[in-house]
Amino acid sequence: MIQSPYIRKPASVQRVMFTVLLALTPGIAAYVWQVGAGILVNLAIASATAVAAEALVRRLRGRPIAPAIGDLSALVTAWLVVLCFPPIVPWWVTVVAVTLAIAAVKHLYGGLGQNPFNPAMVAYCAMIVAFPSLMSQWPPAGGLDFATQLDLILGGARNLDAITGATALDALRTGLRGAESVDAILRQPPFGTLGGRGWEWIAAGYLAGGLLLLALRVITWHMPVAFLATLAATAGAFWLANPAQFASPLFHLASGGAMLAAFFIVTDPVSGATTPLGKIIFAAGIGLIAYLIRAFGAFPEGIAFAVLLMNLCVPLIDMKTQPRVFGHRRGKSP
Amino acid sequence: MKDRYTATRTSLRTAGIMLLFTLVFTALMAGTYRITAPAIEASELAERMRLINDVLPPENYDNVLLEDFVEVGPVAELGLDQGGRIYRARRNGEPAALILEAVAPDGYAGRIRLAVGVDTGGRLTGIRVTAHRETPGLGDYIDPKKDRERAKPWIGQFANISFAEVAPERWAVRRDGGAFAYRIGATISARAVTDAAGRALAWANERRDALFAAETGSRI
Amino acid sequence: MSSYIFIVIGAVLVNNVVLVRMLGLCPFMGVSKKLETAIGMGAATTFVLTLGAGTSYLIDRYLLQPNDLAYLRTLSFIVVIAAIVQLTELVIHKTSPLLHRVLGIYLPLITTNCAVLGVPLLNVGLNHNLFESLLFGFGSSLGFTLVLVLFAGIRERLDGADVPAPFKGTAIAMITAGFMSLAFMGFAGLDRFH
Amino acid sequence: MTLQGFRDSAFNGLWKQNPGLVQLLGLCPILAVSSTMVNAVSLGLATILVMAVANLAVSVLRNFIPYEIRIPVFILIIAALVTMVDLSFNAYFHELYLVLGIFIPLIVTNCIVLARIEAFAAKNDPLSSTLDGILMGLGLVWVLAVLGGARELIGSGTLFAGIDMIFPNLAPIEVFGHDYPGFLIAILPPGAFFALGCLIALFNWLNTRATVRAHVRPKPVAEPAVVGETSAAS
Amino acid sequence: MTKRLHRFKGGVDLDYHKAESAGVPIRSAPLPPRLIVPLRQNARSVAHGIVTAGEHVLKGQRIGEAEGVLGTAVHAPTSGTVIEVTEHPMAHPSGLDTHCVVIEPDGDERWVALEPLDHRSIDRQSALNRLREAGVVGLGGAAFPSHVKLGSGTGVDTVVINGAECEPWITCDDRLMRERADQILAGAAILSDLIGAKRVLVGIEDNKPEAIAAMRAAAAAQAAPIEIVAIPTVYPAGGEKQLIRVLTGIEIPHGRLGTDFGVQCFNVGTAAAVHRAFALGEPLVSRIVTLAGNVERPGNYEVLIGTPVASLLELAEPRADTDRYILGGPMMGFALPDLSVPVIKGTNCVLSASPTLFPRSKPPLPCIRCGECARACPAELQPFELYWFAHSRNFGKAQEYHLFDCIECGCCSYVCPSHIPLVDYYRYAKSEIWARERETRAADGARERFEFRNFRQEREKAEKAAKLAAKAAETKAKLAQTETAPAPAPTEAAPQSEDDAKRALIAAALERAKQQKAAAKPKNTEDLSAATLAEIAEIEARRKALGLSEGDAGDVRPALPTLPGPTTAATPPAPPGGDPEPLAREDRP
Amino acid sequence: MLTALLIMAAIALVLGAALGFASIRFKVVGDPLVEKIDAILPQTQCGQCGYPGCKPYAQAIANGEADINQCPPGGEEGIRKLADLLGREFKPLSEEFGVEKPKAVARIDEQTCIGCTLCIQACPVDAIVGAAKQMHTVVEPLCTGCELCVAPCPVDCITMEPVAETVETWKWKYPVIEIRKRA
Ligand SMILES: Cc1cc2nc3c(=O)[nH]c(=O)nc-3n(C[C@H](O)[C@H](O)[C@H](O)COP(=O)(O)O)c2cc1C
Ligand SMILES: Cc1cc2nc3c(=O)[nH]c(=O)nc-3n(C[C@H](O)[C@H](O)[C@H](O)COP(=O)(O)O)c2cc1C
Ligand SMILES: Cc1cc2nc3c(=O)[nH]c(=O)nc-3n(C[C@H](O)[C@H](O)[C@H](O)COP(=O)(O)O)c2cc1C
Ligand SMILES: Cc1cc2nc3c(=O)[nH]c(=O)nc-3n(C[C@H](O)[C@H](O)[C@H](O)CO)c2cc1C
Ligand code: SF4
Ligand code: SF4
Ligand code: SF4
Ligand code: SF4
Ligand code: FES
């Protein structure tokens, strides 16, 4: 017996995920423009892997395959994996990473909606721990031509010192380790006006997409605002204390994955906190930990680890920030 | 049940039994210790000697190295902020080489501890990493045990190098315009070790005579 | 001062006893099914571990080292820890029935938590002084409590998840612990200056 | 001990009540030293030794141990044995001793040792107790060996790395050749958890399959229905 | 009017579809051939039938007596003959049967003598009693007895009249307000008097301008302090708590009554019914029902309680592709399992549904915790958490997350992008929790009685043993006096062990029995008539035939097939292994 | 060697004495666990678990003598709760002790009843009323459905009837059915 309500809003998971994919396109466009079209190859590889992995696992479990692929969530995961990775990472790293994200992180917990960890971020963390050298080779500022990128992706010679470089964040920490001052480092080639050279544009693309998501009410303001504000505030505090040792907040906002994370990663509904206050705590925690890892930790980019660390806290955050229920006084259980 | 177990009585009884067991098993342990002690001492010695042999081939000296040392206080050049021990190798009573402890403070994931051998000719006899926390698979090639190039480990390039072969201004990794090889993607580790080795060598060259002259076990 | 802070940060986050040093895993897997029990176990362990670290240090420093009896460490430490556990139980039973109800069932389990022996042994290895030993013990147990509580939170949420049959129960818990451990690797280097 | 009893004991120790997979005891050494097979097996053998001797000792002495202090006495016995093993490793396998580090003394708190003493040795005759110790220990060892082998293979592409610490004239095998990039995470702490998790899952899966086979017609198990795989009842 | 309105969080915007049926005036539904009047008015209370088959009843004659605190009387909706008092499916999602009085109308619609009454002329309690006797219950849907809601008559200063009618399609209250505004206001005034309120607020969603206008016009003519307030159209503005919140800013938590906060809420139809109960003396025998949806002639009808839905539907002419009929609105109603069910006092709408009008929901996907539902929930709950717990049957947690604050409005299901039937899970969880509470209560009672029984048995045993001991001592003394042979074993042993005490007891009973010269007694029974004995013999024979051994009476034999009693004694014995009858009955769908 | 023995001896003495003292002084009395277990059991008092009532079974579980899967009336749900309480793994009901059945109540056929009172004596919860030589009836709400009265009846007039669902006891069903296809 089907029960009420008998009418439903025309909304679907597919639509939500499609919107997210759509919102990623400005960022990807900027990426292609600034860094090269190699990323598109990676996106294709990752998408195919995601669909295959999803289908395979569902098949193994004897569950219908079509709805799971139709919901497009695997593609979101796959795209985000690629966008976090260096664009010239060999194809098999992408394949391993996406398979890990989909088969292990998502489906071992029962599939869509049930994973306590952000699949894309687990994939990133696992890969940077497993293959630190491959994962820290980025195309140099100014980009590489498509042929070279393709060659690298398909497994071409990797030990070409000349063609790879460091990201802005990596260069910054390398420079700081060499006891140079921030100002001197920021005049080096990988840096542009705000963040890494060219990366400002990509960040702007993500920002545009993020605003679209906000406008379409796919995400709420809590997480992006809390994340960016905390990141900026922490960076600002250290910067004010010692501008020679710490980069400015604007640099931190514009470099690495900050913008992508603010609107597309921190906001993952499945593995994130859900209550309004919880969302703020969750995202602020990511901002803080990400900065600490960037500035003091062993990894140049700390957002992925910060996301996982806050994923760990989600059940407790949600539990402790349950909003007041209609008619009840705050914090009082029945 | 003849008599009630009072608390004191039980305590005494259990304590007694406990005591018995303790004595028996402690005796067993102590016995084992007696038996194994010489072997343990030998193994520990062998372990230390293995490291020293890596840094300074044994044919270079004939004294009892481990008994010929000086203590140094904190030395900035060696990165030692707690002080350390310097062994002195002699051949036929003549100074032959020094074995220093050094610390590279600027490794990728923290300090890298080194053992550095310097002979009287101002030549490095060898370097070994004794403790580090560099990223496995990336920066850990500085430890020859982890180096994929087993036949020709990276750290081997420092053997028999002096400032005559590599001038102090070129004492750096190639990426920094120097003479020493490094591995792509993990320059920092290489740079840290190279720099520390250079500093240690310079320091040893400067203090050699004072170091050899000092009384064994004395503090400089 | 800052070195003390780094001892704590190191013990809680960077070299977490459970996730990095891999000690105390049996209670970590065993009493993390419910949040409440996890908190109780955490509290009990914190108490015993801190106390045990201090006492062990004293025994080692003033009884064993002077007499060159390093080989008695394991034995004397564990015996003393067992005593602490028993006496703690005794004392709180007498003084605070409430606390006893909360911690009582966990106390006996602590003797076989290897972190309780492992931390004092690590203290010896790291050449900590009395205060550092206490701090390290406290930090480690704090780290234990932290991950235990977080883990319990996640496991409670996993209760209703449609985990593939072979992975139900401990297998998925183990894998979750793996992801936790991966996440904690992010803290690597934060105690660099120590 | 009868043959049947032996078989039961063996089945329990090696499979049904496997300490590492079912009882989840002694996890710390299982996870911590299984980054290479040699380390894993060495510690496993040390544990067997301790378990067998401790079980023997306790079952011989069981009638002299008052109930109230049985636990301290057990711990005492174990600790003494462990120290003896520790000293022996230090003396005769010094390199291995350095690698296994803190985990040899920690056999003392390895829950499985105490658990078996409590559950078995304190109630049974010396022969079966010793056997039980050995079999439970073997259960631990095979898990350690499988885990160590898998992690080592995936993580660095070798097998028996460090075998030269025990048999100086043997060398490790490079299974995937020299160019294997090494999936490092397998030998790091997270890899330990993943590997054991997967091993437990495999174990569960084999057990379920065996039950299903045994029962020809499987009993319907009431499993919660799941949204996504379901549709509203109509 | 410049009343400052409050807001409630959540809610959804819907397609209201009011125009279809709101344009047509209320018509009277024709008399159906049969009226099936359920004696149960809601899940919690049932009336006690006082008529029997064959009896002739008049319209408005009482046929069911109010029972219990929550009971109200039930009346014949028309004059006619009671055909039977029987079990009939009721308008309830379960489709289960309930006691119903089936009346065949005589077509005369002859009323019983009606006694109008001025509520001011009698004391409050009598006035409430009048409502109870007139069968007035809430017409807003829950059919909760109005006299109960009127409570103690103190502490309430505001009566809220609910004219929101926020569910799509339904327009019965709209029409009622347009056509009978004065009745509603008169009823509201009575309610206000009875509850001791100082003001009346009527909340009407602003998508019903005509109703607002009509009500305002009527209110202007009234002296009483009645305020008609247009409220924003948001589903579920008509929910009692939401409406009170909008009109007064007061939030009433779950489990508390409006009266605790000084407000009480009644539906407009209820107000009108109250007015009629006093001014005309009419009991509640009809109500207005909207017929809408996939029909040719939507509209509102004045329908007698007990009219089968099937005969009502004919008036609206459902289109051919109609596949379901929904009682109530699309958000909170339920699909009828059976069209023969009668209209009851809470029935406000019969909606004809077709796949195009109300498309079947797509198969659900897992919850992605997007939080849409939480944003829509007017109770400010976290519906996905409730869902997660209900889904994994973690009812304790579900309650911790305030499951029972859920008003089942359906907003969450409406917005969920994963198409999860969230409310179904809440309904399921709630009824499981209730069932568990019942079980726990039963178990507690059983434990108590079991313990008491054990205690009693112990005591009796002790008493008997004591008595026996005394007797034994006496006997012994006697025996000693008469100086006969050594005392017989049983008496000697009696005080020593319970077993012996029992044996002695039995022996004593046997003695007594013998003295009473009772007939032969199979298995310790006495005084059986010859007929019974024969029966027993026969049964015994059958037992033997079935291969059931005797003498294991003390064993637990759960699977023992029980044999039919004497009614079937003449029929041949059931074949061995035959299904025991009771078990067969239980798998009724 | 001697110092080792002395030091350990001192530790052992202190410890042994303290523990022995503690074991006598602080004996644990009372077991609240039994109450908690008993609260979960359905109180049908049917004895199917092999114990003469729910409380004894609870006691047996607490003592570790009985497993948690022996109570058919409690069913899977009950086992789940016990597993939760005791921190053990859930296991299905042991078939040895019976199967879970829908709740039923006893009904005495009043025509056949001979008033022997045997059922009254059998009923653990006093759910049967009647006096000797008079007709007996089961007070339905009190009957736990334990079936203990069925066997003793000499004329087999007691039947177990499943409790019919009413609007009050009707439950909404679990919202979904599985359409999972088997691989
Ligand atoms: C990541 C993953 C790995 C799996 N590995 C295996 C496997 O090794 N062997 C196997 O038969 N099934 C494997 N399966 C499939 C399910 O375990 C198997 O179909 C299960 O018994 C069905 O689970 P269900 O009853 O919960 O759907 C795997 C499933 C997943 C998601
Ligand atoms: C996770 C991670 C770990 C790293 N570990 C090391 C390391 O141990 N040693 C090192 O020299 N560089 C390490 N790096 C690389 C540095 O960040 C830096 O890119 C490199 O040392 C300098 O780059 P280059 O060698 O290409 O000049 C690591 C990078 C990442 C992302
Ligand atoms: C979600 C929801 C929506 C409701 N909508 C209305 C409505 O539109 N009109 C109405 O009169 N009652 C509505 N009710 C019922 C009211 O909450 C309340 O029971 C009724 O107004 C009380 O009046 P009564 O006792 O006179 O029926 C709704 C209830 C709920 C839970
Ligand atoms: C706003 C939004 C953000 C998302 N972010 C992520 C993400 O960071 N990582 C990811 O794997 N999936 C992401 N997804 C997709 C989906 O939620 C994810 O696959 C689930 O975690 C799988 O259960 C996102 C989806 C939405 C709607
Ligand atoms: S609207 Fe649906 S998918 Fe979104 S959180 Fe609520 S239940 Fe989950
Ligand atoms: S049905 Fe319940 S949970 Fe859902 S929106 Fe309405 S009140 Fe909230
Ligand atoms: S089987 Fe269950 S209901 Fe029956 S007596 Fe035992 S515990 Fe009680
Ligand atoms: S009447 Fe019968 S079935 Fe019911 S409780 Fe009593 S003995 Fe049990
Ligand atoms: S082995 Fe059990 S806690 Fe470490």
Render pLDDT for F167-179 as a digit per residue (tens, 0 to 9).
Answer: 888 888 888 644 4
Distance of CA C175 to the CA centre of its chain: 20
Q: How far is D133 from chain B (nearest CA, A)?
A: 20
Please tell me the distance from the alpha carbon of residue B123 to that of residue E439, in angstroms, as a whole number: 89
Which of B5, B21, B29 is the closest to F24 by Cβ? B5
Mutational test site, ligand 2, from B135, B143, B173, max ligand atoms within 8 Å of CB: B135
Contacts of D172 (CB under 8 A, 6+ apart): D158, D159, D160, D161, D162, D163, D164
Which of C33, C72, C86 is the closest to F87 by Cβ? C33
* Domain stops at, among E310, E329, E353: E353
Render pLDDT for C177-192 as a digit per residue (tens, 0 to 9).
Answer: 999 999 999 998 787 6
Ligand 1 binding residues, C-beta < 6 A? A 57, 60-62, 103, 107-108; C 164-166; D 205
Q: How confident is the model at residue E428 (pLDDT cuts 50, 70, 90)?
A: very high
Render pLDDT for A127-183 as a digit per residue (tens, 0 to 9).
Answer: 999 888 888 888 876 667 888 888 888 876 555 555 556 666 777 776 666 666 777
Q: Where are the domains of chain F?
A: 32-97, 104-162
Closest CA to C121 of C52, C39, C33: C52
Q: How much is the pLDDT for E534?
A: 53
Residue numbers of the domain that contains E292: 19-29+113-353
Distance of CA B218 to the CA centre of its chain: 20
Contacts of F106 (CB under 8 A, 6+ apart): F119, F127, F128, F138, F143, F145, F147, F149, F150, F158, F159, F160, F161
| Mean pLDDT lowest among A137-151, A294-308, E368-382, E553-567 | E553-567
**CB pairs < 8 Å spanning C and D:** 136
Identify the DSSP state of E196: T
CATH number of F104-162: 3.30.70.20
Q: How much is the pLDDT for F5?
A: 83
Q: How much is the pLDDT for D147?
A: 94
Chains adjacent to C (≥3 CB pairs closer than 8 angstroms): A, B, D, E, F
Please tell me the distance from the alpha carbon of residue C154 to that of residue A229, in angstroms, as a whole number: 28
Q: Is F12 on the interface with B (CB under 8 A)?
A: yes
Top-confidence residue, C128 or D232: C128
Q: How much is the pLDDT for E501?
A: 53
Q: Is B109 on the interface with A (CB under 8 A)?
A: yes
- Segment E360-367 shows an average pLDDT of 87
- Asked whether residue E344 falls in the same domain as residue E369, the answer is no
Q: Tally the domains of chain E.
A: 2
| Mean pLDDT lowest among C76-90, C149-163, E331-345, F144-158 | C76-90
Which residues of chain C neighbour A289 with C-beta distances below 8 Å? 186
Top-confidence residue, E585 or E94: E94
Residue numbers of the domain that contains D102: 3-214
Q: Do chains E and B touch (3 or more CB pairs under 8 A)?
A: no
**pLDDT of E179 higher than 80:** yes
Render pLDDT for F2-60 as a digit per residue (tens, 0 to 9).
Answer: 788 888 888 777 776 776 666 566 555 445 678 888 888 988 888 888 898 898 999 88
* Domain stops at, among E467, E495, E528: E467
Residue type, E111: W
- Segment E17-40 shows an average pLDDT of 92
Q: How much is the pLDDT for D229?
A: 41
Q: How much is the pLDDT for E571?
A: 37
Distance of CA F6 to the CA centre of its chain: 55
Q: Tally the domains of chain D.
A: 1
Which residues of chain A neighbour D226 with C-beta distances below 8 Å? 110
Q: Which two tokens stand for residue A277?
A: 């206050």
Which residues of chain F neighbour E438 with C-beta distances below 8 Å? 169
Q: ipTM score of the complex?
A: 0.85
- Please tell me whether residue E81 adopts helix, strand or coil conformation: strand
CATH number of F32-97: 1.10.15.40
Render pLDDT for B28-60 as a digit per residue (tens, 0 to 9).
Answer: 888 988 898 898 888 888 888 888 888 888 888
- Segment E444-459 shows an average pLDDT of 88
Q: How much is the pLDDT for B79?
A: 85
| Mean pLDDT lowest among B14-28, E88-102, E203-217 | B14-28
Q: Which two tokens stand for residue A231?
A: 């990141």
Phi and psi at A313, nearest 5°, equal -85, -10
**pLDDT of E453 higher than 60:** yes
- How close is the Cα of E548 to the center of ligand 8, in Å? 22
- Please tell me whether residue E264 adopts helix, strand or coil conformation: strand
Please tell me the distance from the alpha carbon of residue A312 to that of residue A117, in angstroms, as a whole number: 8
D181 and A131 within 8 Å at the Cβ level: the answer is: yes
For chain A, where are the E strands, in sequence order? none
Interface test with D, best of C45, C72, C174, C185 (most D CBs within 10 A): C174
Render pLDDT for B56-79 as a digit per residue (tens, 0 to 9).
Answer: 888 888 888 888 888 888 888 888
- How close is the Cα of F53 to the center of ligand 6, in Å? 43
Q: How far is E518 from chain F (nearest CA, A)?
A: 13
* D186 found inside a domain: yes
Please tell me the distance from the alpha carbon of residue D49 to that of residue E245, in angstroms, as a whole number: 74
Q: Is D228 on the interface with E (CB under 8 A)?
A: yes
Q: How confident is the model at residue F163 (pLDDT cuts 50, 70, 90)?
A: confident
Which residues, given as ranges, of chain D have pLDDT below 70?
A: 1, 68, 215-234
Q: How much is the pLDDT for A205?
A: 94
- Segment A46-73 shows an average pLDDT of 92
Please tell me the distance from the alpha carbon of residue B56 to that of residue B125, in angstroms, as a whole number: 6
Render pLDDT for F105-146 as a digit per residue (tens, 0 to 9).
Answer: 898 888 888 888 888 888 888 888 877 777 788 888 888 888
- Percent over 70 (pLDDT), chain E: 81
Q: How much is the pLDDT for E373?
A: 95
Q: Give the pairing of strands E62-65 and E48-49.
A: antiparallel
E361 and D232 within 8 Å at the Cβ level: the answer is: yes
Q: Do chains C and E touch (3 or more CB pairs under 8 A)?
A: yes
For chain D, where are the E strands, in sequence order? 158-159, 173-174, 230-232
Phi and psi at A133, nearest 5°, equal -75, -45
Which neighbouring-strand residues pair with E304? E286
- How close is the Cα of A47 to the center of ligand 9, in Å? 42
- Reported residue count of chain B is 220
Identify the DSSP state of B141: G
**pLDDT of E331 higher than 90:** yes
Q: Most confidently modeled of C143-152, D100-109, E14-23?
A: C143-152
- Segment E527-549 shows an average pLDDT of 48
Identify whether the C-beta of residue A299 lies closer than 8 Å to the C-beta of residue C186.
Answer: yes
Top-confidence residue, E19 or E480: E19
Mean pLDDT of chain E: 82
Q: How much is the pLDDT for D177?
A: 77
Which CATH number characterizes residue E160's domain? Answer: 3.40.50.11540
- Burial class, B59, CB count within 10 angstroms (exposed 0-12 / middle 13-18 / buried 19+): exposed
Q: How confident is the model at residue E290 (pLDDT cuts 50, 70, 90)?
A: very high
Element (H, E) at A68: helix A66-70
Q: Is D206 on the interface with A (CB under 8 A)?
A: no
Q: What is the dihedral of CA C117, C120, C122, C125, to 10 degrees?
A: -130
Q: How much is the pLDDT for E585?
A: 34
**pLDDT of A334 higher than 60:** no
Q: Give the pairing of strands E62-65 and E35-38.
A: unpaired
Closest CA to A152 of A133, A139, A169, A142: A139
* Domain stops at, among E415, E444, E467: E467
Render pLDDT for A319-328 as a digit per residue (tens, 0 to 9).
Answer: 999 999 998 8
Render pLDDT for C34-59 as a digit per residue (tens, 0 to 9).
Answer: 888 888 888 888 989 999 999 999 99
Please tell me the distance from the alpha carbon of residue C150 to that of residue C32, in angstroms, as a whole number: 9
* E453 found inside a domain: yes
Q: Which two tokens stand for residue A5?
A: 């309500």
Closest-lying ligand 1 atom to the alpha carbon of residue C167: 17
- Segment A285-313 shows an average pLDDT of 93
**pLDDT of E376 higher than 90:** yes
Q: How confident is the model at residue E538 (pLDDT cuts 50, 70, 90)?
A: low
**pLDDT of A239 higher than 60:** yes
Render pLDDT for D128-174 as a digit per residue (tens, 0 to 9).
Answer: 899 989 998 999 999 999 999 999 999 888 888 888 777 778 888 88
- Please tell me whether residue B100 adopts helix, strand or coil conformation: strand
Which of D111, D191, D229 is the closest to C112 by Cβ? D111
- Segment A52-78 shows an average pLDDT of 92
Q: How much is the pLDDT for E427?
A: 94
Q: How confident is the model at residue E342 (pLDDT cuts 50, 70, 90)?
A: very high
D234 and A2 within 8 Å at the Cβ level: the answer is: yes
Closest CA to E312 of E333, E298, E332: E298
Which residues of chain F neighbour A3 with C-beta distances below 8 Å? 172, 175
Model confidence pTM above 0.90: no
Q: Where are the domains of chain A?
A: 11-165, 171-320
Look at phi and psi of residue C84 and say left if phi exceeds 0, alpha if psi is from -120 to 50, else beta. Answer: alpha
- Asked whether residue E291 falls in the same domain as residue E407, the answer is no
Render pLDDT for E557-575 as a digit per residue (tens, 0 to 9).
Answer: 333 333 333 333 333 333 3
User: Angle at which helices B7-55 and C73-95 pack, to 10 degrees?
Assistant: 140
Q: Do chains E and D touch (3 or more CB pairs under 8 A)?
A: yes
Q: How much is the pLDDT for E530?
A: 53
Cis peptide before E236 (omega within 30 of 0): yes
Identify whether the C-beta of residue D121 lies closer than 8 Å to the C-beta of residue D133.
Answer: yes
- Asked whether residue E309 falls in the same domain as residue E342, the answer is yes
**Is D111 touching ligand 9 by the criterion CB < 6 Å?**
yes
